[in-house]
């Protein structure tokens, strides 16, 4: 009997508030981390949870990285002031994104094999460490984005920037937007 998803889906309408969307997406990444730790340390195969992790790592995580790398970070680079000292942070986060995607591929491979073999990843110490290290790293990454990047984005991004960000987030996910015309009130 299938359970409800452990990683909550985002309401499509939240895309109208792109910074809140990204914050909520970070919450979903925290849920992913809990699930990864649970599956990665279990000595019995948690196949439904493993499938949910696989779906997130294959679809949601790459989309989120694109959201930030292609849309949010470039907007911030254009709008931030030198006193914000954000360029080095964005550079470090971009490097972490590349590492995250590489580590996600490793987790995907381990989970796929676990599902084929019917063996829980938690039996092997090195594999357990792969899962727990990924979760730890991801939590630190999200904390930095929530504590530094999103507050500066709320301060610096314009209404036009936010509308553009909403449009791109929605388009990437096939969500139709009904945005008010520029100059009109929502």
pLDDT by residue, tens only, the chain of 186 residues? 456 568 999 998 999 999 999 999 999 999 999 999 999 999 999 999 999 999 999 999 999 999 999 999 999 999 999 999 999 999 999 999 999 999 999 999 999 999 999 999 999 999 999 999 999 999 999 999 999 999 999 999 999 999 999 999 999 998 877 755 555 444
pLDDT at site 186: 44
Enter the pTM of the model: 0.90
pLDDT at site 182: 53
pLDDT at site 174: 87
Check residue 92 and give left, alpha or beta (phi > 0: left; psi -120 to 50: alpha). alpha
pLDDT at site 179: 52
Largest CA distance in the chain: 60
User: How many whole angstroms from its chain centre is CA 115?
Assistant: 24
Domain ranges for the chain? 16-173
* Nearest C-alpha neighbor of 54 from the set 93, 14, 5: 5
**Residue 176, phi then psi, degrees to nearest 5:** -85, 135
CA distances to 41, 67, 157 from 77, in Å:
40, 14, 10
Query: What kind of fold does domain 16-173 have according to CATH?
Result: 1.20.120
Residue 174 DSSP label: T
């Amino acid at each position: 009997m299938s359970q409800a998803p452990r990683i909550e889906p985002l309401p499509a309408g939240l895309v109208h508030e792109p910074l809140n969307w990204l914050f909520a997406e970070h919450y979903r990444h925290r849920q992913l981390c809990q699930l990864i730790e649970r599956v990665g340390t279990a000595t019995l195969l948690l196949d439904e949870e493993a499938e949910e992790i696989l779906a997130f790592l294959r679809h949601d995580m790459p989309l989120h990285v694109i959201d930030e790398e292609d849309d949010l970070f470039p907007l911030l680079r254009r709008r931030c002031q030198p006193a914000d000292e954000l360029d080095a942070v964005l550079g470090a986060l971009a490097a972490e994104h590349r590492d995250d995607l590489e580590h996600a591929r490793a987790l995907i491979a381990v989970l796929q094999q676990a599902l084929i073999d019917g063996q829980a990843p938690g039996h092997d110490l090195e594999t357990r460490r792969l899962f727990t290290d990924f979760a730890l790293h991801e939590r630190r990454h999200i904390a930095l984005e929530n504590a530094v990047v999103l507050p500066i984005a709320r301060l610096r991004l314009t209404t036009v920037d936010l509308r553009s960000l909403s449009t791109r987030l929605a388009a990437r996910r096939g969500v139709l937007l009904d945005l008010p015309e520029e100059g009109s009130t929502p």
